[in-house]
Amino acid sequence: MSPVMSRREDDPSIDNTRYQKGVRHLCENGITSVPRKYILPVSDRPNLNERQNLHDLNLKLPIIDFAQLQGPERSQVLKNLAKACEEYGFFQVTNHGIPMGVIQKMIDACKRFFDLPFEDRAKYMSADMSAPVRYGTSFNQKNDGVFCWRDFLKLVCNPLSDVLPYWPTSPADLREAAVTYSQQAKFLYIKLVEAVLESLGLVGTTMKEDEDNVWKEFQDGSHLMVVNCYPSCPQPDLTLGMPPHSDYGFLTILLQDEVEGLQIQSQGKWVTVEPLPNSFVVNVGDHLEIFSNGRYKSVLHRVLVNSSKSRMSVASLHSFGFDRVVRPSSKLVDEANPRRYKDTDFSSFLEYVSSCEPKRKNFLESRKLTSV
C-alpha cells in the first residue's frame, strides 16, 4: 500500500502540504476517493444527476466563422459577434486558420509535460504570481479553503525574448511548440480585437491619433498561456476542476480537447458547452466588460471533471499591458450611459486574488460603480 493510502484521506493527522503538490501527484500515488481538501460544500457541488436527466443543459455557443469575418460577409458577422458578446459573453470561432499540426504539437507536448516525474514538474512551482513560468494546482493554492481538481502550467508570453529562457526545457519540443502556438493565438486575438472594436463602433472614428494609441496597446499587451490538466476523478460529483470565475483580461482564446467539461452560467443555470471540432471557444473578459462600459459581458464559468477521462485545455489570456490602467472607453460613456466601473489594473487583480477566497472568483464585482 502506498504511503498516501496507508491512512484515511480525511485523517486530520495527515500533512495537508502534500496537496500543494497537485492532483497529478495524488493520482500517481493511487488514490481511490477524493481527499477532504477537495470536497466542496454541498451547495457548491455540481449536480451531475440533474445534468444527466436534462438534455437541454448542453449549449451550442454562437459560431463566428473567421473566414467570413475577413470577407464580404464581415458586416453581418460583426452583428453576430456583438450579439454573442452581449447575450452570452462566449462564442466559438471556426475556420480560424491555425494549422491542426500546430495545435496537435502543442497538445502533445503539454500532455508529456504533465507526464513527467513530479520532481521535474516541481522545478517550476512558485508562489510568485508574476513569474514567467509557474506550475501549480487549484485556483489560488495559498488561500483556497477547498482545492479544485486541476494542475496548471502558466507561461508568460510577452515579451517572448525575455521570458523564453525560463520556460521548461522538458519535453524537448515544448518550447518550440508553445512559441509557435502562442504566436498563432496572438495573431487570431489581434484580428478578433479588431472585429470587437469595430462592432463597438470604435474603429474608423475621426480621432485617428487616439485610435492608433489604443491599437498599439493591444499589439503590445499582455499574453499569458495557461495549460490546464484535469485528471480523471474518482468522485466527480464532490469537486470541480475550476470554481465559478470570470477571466480578468480582454479576451480569452480556449483550446480544449474533445472531453466535455466547460460550463457557463446562462439564465441562472449551469450549461455545458459542447466541444466543436477544430474550433476555439472565445470569451469576454473583465477588461472588455469594463472597456465596453458593460455592453459586452464577462460571464461566470466553471469546469466539471469526470471519472473516466482526463481533460486538457490551453487558455490564451490576452489584454492590455500589466501596467495599463483599464477604464471604460470615453466614446461609450455619455449621459444616457454613465460610467459603470472604477479604473483598474493588474496589480489590483493580483491583490484581490491573493488576499481572499471569494465565494465567486469574480474580480469584476469589486470594480462596479453601479449595477450592470
Separation in Å, CA 277 to CA 1, 110, 246: 41, 19, 24
| Within-domain flag for 172 | yes
Report, as an integer, the average pLDDT of 316-329.
90
Q: Which domain holds residue 263?
A: 35-367
Q: Which residues pair with 315 in a beta bridge?
A: 226, 254
| Within-domain flag for 154 | yes
**pLDDT at 53 (0 to 100):** 43
248: nearest Cα among 318, 191, 160, 144: 318
| Within-domain flag for 25 | no
Give the residue carrying C-alpha cell 479588431. 194
Report, as an integer, the average pLDDT of 219-233.
94
Separation in Å, CA 156 to CA 56, 85, 165, 173: 38, 26, 11, 18
Give me the number of domains the chain comprises: 1
**pLDDT at 126 (0 to 100):** 85
Write the DSSP assignment of 278-340 as a string of letters.
Answer: T-EEEEE-HHHHHHTTTSS----EEE---SS--EEEEEEEE-S-TTPPB---GGG-SSSS---
| Within-domain flag for 24 | no
- Which is more confidently placed, 335 or 209? 335
User: If pLDDT is split at 50, 70 and 90, which confidence band does 324 have?
Assistant: confident
| Within-domain flag for 19 | no
**pLDDT at 202 (0 to 100):** 87
CA–chain centroid gap for 291, Å, is: 19
Grid coordinates in use for 355? 488576499
| Within-domain flag for 27 | no
CA distance linking residue 320 with residue 291, whole number of Å: 11
CA distance linking residue 279 with residue 269, whole number of Å: 24
Report, as an integer, the average pLDDT of 239-267.
92
**pLDDT at 206 (0 to 100):** 41
Give the chain's radius of gyration (CA, Å).
21
CA distance linking residue 211 with residue 207, whole number of Å: 6
The CATH number of the domain where 102 resides is what? Answer: 2.60.120.330
User: If pLDDT is split at 50, 70 and 90, which confidence band does 204 have?
Assistant: low
113: enclosing H helix or E strand: helix 100-114
278 C-beta neighbours (distance < 10 Å), count: 10
Say if residues 284 and 195 touch (Cβ distance below 8 Å).
no
Decide if pLDDT at 325 tops 60.
Answer: yes
258: enclosing H helix or E strand: none
CB contact burial 296-307 (16+ within 10 A = b; e otherwise): bbbbbbbbbbbe
Grid coordinates in use for 343? 479604473
pLDDT digits (tens, 9 = 90+) for 58-114: 778 999 999 999 999 999 999 999 999 999 999 999 999 999 999 999 999 999 999
